[in-house]
Amino acid sequence: MNSTNNTIAKNIFVLMGSQVTTWTLTLLLTVFLPRYLGAAGIGKLQFATSLWLLVGMMISFGTGTLLTKEIARMPERTSELFGTVVVVRIVLFGAGYALTIMLLRYLAYPPETITVVGIIVAANLMEQFATACQSSLQGLERMSILSVANIVGKSIDTVVGILLLLAGWGIYAIAGLLIVSTTVRLLIQLRFLTKSYPLHLSFRVDTALRMLRSGLPYLMSSIFLVGYLQMNVLIISFLLNEEAIGWYSAADRLFNTLLFIPTIFMMAVFPVFSRLKVSDTAYLHRLMGKSFDSLLLLGVPIGLGMMIVAGPIVTFLFGQDFVNSGPILGVMGVALIFMYLNVLLGQFMISTDRQNTWTVIMAVATVILIGLDITLIPWFHTRWGNGAIGAASAYGLTEFGMVVTGVLLLPKGTLTWTNGWTAARIFGAGFVMVGVAWWLSDQWIVVPILAGAVVYSVLILLMQVVPKEDLQMIIAAVQNFFNRYRRPAPEAVG
């Protein structure tokens, strides 16, 4: 299975290289948006985005995950599956658009908010096509193509977006820019995908119905996932105001930029999980155990570190107007650790055809989150004047509960006492890191960050948390990654 490990490592580093670029671009745009649009403007943009994530999930009808799994197992059916999915999404998009606009008018949302939602709708149509391409390429494990498309799209978002803001354009222009960047990303993916497979739109009633039936479990899982992720914004909008949404959204944007690690990890591992489900379950369980250790190893320092430096980071990036976003981001740091593990647990269950189990977990978690939000948001608003801290706290509690439940439902032997001992050492190193960073928290923000990173890394090496063979594989993957971009030495003349 060395070839499988090497393929995973190569794809992870390819995605990591592109993600660092897109992460930097996203962070740069995140700094500009609150300063030029204000808390209320950010609130409108976040509401429109959250709403269309929900509608878009209904339009995709779970076919994205289905595409990736089926193409990973049967790549020869790529053209047929892709064409059918696109036609189905076009039909569902028309119904989704009409119902959304009617609902907003019925609920008497402000005209400016409805306009922003209307602009985002066109971007969502392009996004439906782009995600179909992405799911196909992921199933084929063509991660380099995804990397190129994402970098170009995010570059357009950031560079043109900042220029528009500096030129005095407002929220409508930023929303409209999403149409352009998503379309460009779609065209790049299509160009590479059509080189390998002749794509064509096709619609057979029996094939479409079969895909809809097969996609239904993934749709239900997505409904609760997207609803769960966006629930805090929606409940804050009901209980508080757009300014509170802006505080929460500023913290949430920074929080989301740190989710690239489990995202790219699972993009590389998910199709492998799916294949191993039908070919080698023993190795599947070993790979899951290693994946659990890896994401915990990365999540603990990032999450605990965020808890320490959240306030200074928010003030530095967004200014004093968003000082209330600091404690929100700090609480989200703890939730981040559990979020990393839940991404892995959920994708593992889905890739191994246990999506119904994860759907039940998400459904229960969503109900619990709503109850906690209704309780904690007013309490934090009354006591601290910042109800969004309650939303972040509710999020962390539900994430922890999902991790416990997910681990208990894993196949017997997937995680062992060895994983528990690894987790104990990781958290031990993390708590020491927190102590050092806290002691230096009154220094320039870079000082506690660097000191904490050094302390954590040294402790991990001293306690031999990472096996020697894994370290060797990581070093080899890093060397291969940089060798791809290194210029060949000039040949001697003479």
Nearest in space to 17 (alpha carbons), one of 144, 135, 140: 144
Please give the average pLDDT of every successive group of 10 residues along the chain, which has 494 residues.
64 72 78 78 79 81 85 82 86 84 78 82 87 86 80 89 87 88 91 79 75 83 78 84 82 85 85 83 88 93 91 83 88 94 93 87 92 93 88 94 94 90 94 92 87 93 81 60 50 42
Torsion of CA 412, 413, 415, 417, to 10 degrees: 120
**Quick one: pLDDT at residue 489?**
46
Pair 270, 348: CB distance under 8 Å: no
Pair 311, 327: CB distance under 8 Å: yes
**Quick one: pLDDT at residue 147?**
80
Distance of CA 4 to CAs 40, 93, 134, 444, Å? 48, 38, 21, 44
Nearest in space to 330 (alpha carbons), one of 349, 354, 353, 313: 313
What is the CB neighbour count within 10 angstroms for residue 280? 14
Residues 134, 136, 139, 141, CA torsion sign: negative
**Quick one: pLDDT at residue 268?**
83
Question: How far apart (Å, rounded) are the C-alpha atoms in residues 42 and 45?
Answer: 5
SS3 assignment, position 430: helix
**Quick one: pLDDT at residue 494?**
38
**Quick one: pLDDT at residue 275?**
82
**Quick one: pLDDT at residue 105?**
78
**Quick one: pLDDT at residue 328?**
92
Question: How far apart (Å, rounded) are the C-alpha atoms in residues 63 and 85?
Answer: 7
**Quick one: pLDDT at residue 340?**
95
What is the CB neighbour count within 10 angstroms for residue 97? 18
310-331 tens-digit pLDDT = 888 888 888 777 888 889 999 9
Residue 413's region, left for phi above 0, alpha for psi from -120 to 50, else beta, is left
Nearest in space to 11 (alpha carbons), one of 477, 489, 364: 477
137-148 tens-digit pLDDT = 888 877 778 788
- Residue 393 in tokens: 């706290």
**Quick one: pLDDT at residue 238?**
83
What is the CB neighbour count within 10 angstroms for residue 160? 16
Q: How many DSSP H helices and E strands does the chain contain?
A: 16, 0
**Quick one: pLDDT at residue 493?**
42
